[in-house]
Amino acid sequence: MSKKKLKNEAQLLKEALKRGMEYGEKRGVVEFEATDSLNDKIEYVYKLLVHDKVIVPLARGETSQPNMRHKLALWMVRQLPPDDPLLR
């Protein structure tokens, strides 16, 4: 997967993770704990969004933490309004 680093990617990932966790909890399919690792949260949110067909899955063999992080950040770019400060 050739990926271009996004401006504010870390902040976009943080927002994507927050919204993805809220999405999963509202659906009643998960309850995140304070002791859950960041990598576990990223993987769960990614898999949930793929399962629900919210995002397109990564290609077979491309499913890695860096690629899942990037994919979630890209999802967040599409969710935010064009004038959002994270997109500047």
Domain coverage including residue 51: 9-80
Give the type of residue at 2.
S
Identify whether 38 is part of a domain. yes
% the chain with pLDDT above 90: 89
| Confidence class for position 2, pLDDT limits 50, 70, 90 | low
Kindly report the CATH number assigned to the domain that includes residue 39: 1.20.120.1930
**pLDDT tens per residue across span 42-76:** 999 999 999 999 999 999 999 999 999 999 999 99
Instruction: Identify which has the larger pLDDT, 33 or 1.
Output: 33
Residue 40: pLDDT over 70: yes
Identify whether 39 is part of a domain. yes
Helix, strand or coil, per DSSP, at residue 75? helix
User: Phi first, then psi: what are they for 61, rounded to 5°?
Assistant: 90, -10
Contact 15, 86 (CB under 8 A): yes
Identify whether 2 is part of a domain. no
